Structure 1
Amino acid sequence: MGRYTLDDILATRKSRDAWWTVFMVDPIACRLALLVANHTSLTPNALTGFSMLLGFGSVAAFGVGELALGAALFYLSFMVDCMDGKIARLKGTGTPFGLWLDFVGDRIRFACCAFGLGVGEYARTGDHGFLIAGVGVVLLDFFRYINGPQLKKVKEATRSLAKARAQTQVVFVEDVLKARPETDALTVAREAEENRADGKAVVDLQKEFHARFPWYDRFRLTLIKYRVRTHFFSGIEFEAAVFVVAPLLGSWAFVPTSIGAGALLLAFEISLIYRVWLASRQIPKSAPKKEQILV
């Protein structure tokens, strides 16, 4: 007991995370994780289970109209959910089953909270808007979890086709940026020009995207300084808006917040689809010979 330091815990954080997690959760979650690591024998799965219990407490609070209590319990549930991954990485005790439990627990908590809040407020007010908002929130969450894996398959297929068309060694720009996140697109472009000067063909799957949105790379580099990912309004921010911010504001805020947050989440998902579509347009039309391609 007591062998871990705060620096050890900080080292287990994801290299980039949602801004809500970075600024609103991790400062507390890391310190609580340190106490858990040094003074208890709780496993990551036990923390996941505790997170689910807090989530069900949030559902119950929403259902009986205690919205502020429900928001607080949801926030605590999410915080504990962040802690289990840190403990798993710190002690090397994570398991494949733990990943499944964490994922399923998150989805159950989300759906139950949405229906608890929507049905509870409908029962008290008779306003069908609460029911519709609750169902809409669940459907949007369902869509993003279907859309993500499918877009990943499209990206993998795009990469495979690019390699097949190239018929030679291929280096992907996205891999370069992942390995060197502080590198900007202009640097990569200069490297590409050097390759072109050697008579090597250059193909960049993100070329059209960066040409249309030149500010994006500066935005990405600014966020990296704070460990924030470019998914600026993803599922985590959606959950926080609907189940923390809206309940704290009051019953009246649930429907408009759900609509606003849902629109932002849908816009984000559409932007991901658009980016993958642009990348698919950059695949070489024919296979060059004896060239190294930077993709």
Structure 2
Amino acid sequence: MGGFTLDDILAARKPRDSWWTVFVVDPLACRLTLAVANHTSITPNGLTRLSMLLGLGSAGCFAAGSTGALVAGAVLFYLSFTVDCMDGKIARLKGTGTPFGLWLDYVGDRVRVGCCAFAFAYGQGTDAALAAAVGVVVLDLFRYVNGPQLHRVREATREQVAAMAGGEVVFVDDRLRADPRARVRDLLLSEEIELVDLQRAFRARFPWFDRFRIALVRHRVRTHVMSGIEFHAAVFVVAPFFGPRAVIGAAAGAGALLLLFEAALVYRIWLATREAARAVPKRERVLV
């Protein structure tokens, strides 16, 4: 049906993604996407629905409660997430994505996590398992509520700086999106125009962060190394191979790491809001 190559699929990946996706999921997902793109007419929404079915199958295995069933549930959860990673690639490759698909993908992820968490609690029948399930669902929802809210604060801060500058402003972050491997110091020294760095205070406190960011960019990995994706993988893919206690432990340990990284994001955006008042030079001119 199509003449796509693996290079086409690789080009359809996100510019940066979670390390779990890059190293553990994409090697399989890209090759499956190549077969799907060339030999089927399945749509991105169809892949999302298949991912949800696999997720429900994973929940069914977790509900069984036995060690073997937990392992089967982990495998199905991994396959569910792999298919979930394919829908975006197909959408970008063929241009067949829809706005409704964004909603379906988001809701499907929340349904999969909630069903698997409470299915595990049902299968184990203990208070500890139920507490872990509640914690997983709450943290999952918090992560995906906090992210968009932080984005709103970031955009509002940028608009505030632009208003104070009296015109269009060029931010360091915009330059980094265009050239992710650039060093901030080099950008500030080489640009003929004056850049606004809302992360100046953060970079001053953590001078190693820029080197860390560049090292991850070389591998297409984003700096948020403990996101919802890694949290789900720890609880529903890795831990089940080691038994019910490992799942409960992973929910607690990975959950703590998730909160730590979310707190770091909040701290970073708080520093940016404070920096906004000092970001625009006092002399009257428009930054272009």
Give the TM-score normalised by the residue count of structure 1. Answer: 0.92
In 1, distance between residues paired with 2:60 and 2:100?
A: 27
CA contact (8 A) 1:203 1:282 kept: no
Separation in 2, partners of 1:14, 1:167: 34
The amino acid across from 2:31 in the alignment is R
Aligned equivalent of 1:177 = 176
The Cα shift of 1:160 comes to 1.3
Whole-angstrom CA distance in 2 between matches of 1:53 and 1:270: 33
Contact 1:203-1:284 within 8 A present in 2 as well: no
Q: 1:7 to 1:203 in 2, by over 3 A?
A: closer
User: Matches of 1:292 and 1:208 in 2, distance apart?
Assistant: 23
In the TM superposition, residue 259 of structure 1 has moved relative to its aligned partner by 0.6
> What corresponds to 1:10 in structure 2?
10
Say yes or no: does 1:274 pair with 2:267: yes
- Listed one character per residue, the Cα deviations across residues 195-235 of structure 1 (whole Å, up to 9, x for unaligned) are 5xxxx7x6521111000001110011011111111110101
Aligned partner of 1:219 in structure 2 is 212
Deviations 1:54-73 (A, max 9, x none): 00000000000210000000
Kindly tell me: are residues 148 and 217 of structure 1, through their superposed partners in 2, closer, same or farther at Cα, counting changes over 3 Å? same
Point out the more displaced range, 179-188 or 210-219: 179-188
Task: Give the CA deviation at 1:168.
Answer: 3.7
Per-residue CA distance 1:247-267 (angstroms, 9 max, x = gap):
111111011111100001000
So what's the TM-score if we normalise by structure 2? 0.94
AA in 1 matched with 2:224 = H
Aligned equivalents of 2:168, 2:2: Cα separation in 1 = 50
After TM superposition, the structure 1 = structure 2 runs for residues 254-273 of structure 1, keeping only pairs within 5 Å, are 254-273=247-266
Tell me which residue corresponds to 2:36: 36
Taking the TM superposition and a 5 Å limit, the aligned residue runs for 1:203-218 are 203-218=196-211
Match of 2:242 in 1: 249
In structure 1, the gaps of 5 or more residues are: none
- What is the CA distance between 1:185 and its match in structure 2? 1.2
Matched residue of 1:171: which SS?
Answer: coil
Q: Distance in 2 between matches of 1:260 and 1:93?
A: 39
Give aligned pairs, total. Answer: 284
Instruction: Report matched runs for 1:51-66 at 5 Å.
Output: 51-65=51-65, 66=69
Change (3 A) 1:23 1:203: closer
Code of the residue aligned with 2:162 in structure 1: it is K
The yes-or-no answer on 1:232 pairing with 2:225 is yes
Aligned residue number for residue 285 of structure 2: 291
Please state how far the C-alpha of 1:189 moved relative to its aligned partner. Answer: 2.6
Aligned-pair identity (%): 60
1:137 aligned partner: 136
Secondary structure of the structure 2 residue equivalent to 1:21: helix
Structure 2: how far apart are the matches of 1:288 and 1:44?
50
- Code of the aligned partner of 2:127: H
| Matched-pair contact (CA < 8 Å) for 2:171–2:196 | no
3-state SS in 1 of match to 2:271:
helix
Q: Measure how far apart 1:284 and its partner are.
A: 2.6
Contact 1:59 1:112 survives alignment (8 Å): yes
1:42 match: secondary structure: coil
Within 1, Cα distance between the matches of 2:245 and 2:222?
31
- Whether the aligned pair in 2 keeps the contact of 1:51 and 1:81 (CA below 8 Å) is yes
Structure 2 unmatched runs, 5+: none
CA distances 1:140-164 after superposition (whole Å, capped 9, x unpaired)? 0111111111111111111111112
1:105 to 108, 118, 125: 108
Say if 2:226 and 2:258, in contact at 8 Å, map to a contact too.
Answer: yes
Which segment is superposed worse, 20-29 or 148-157?
148-157
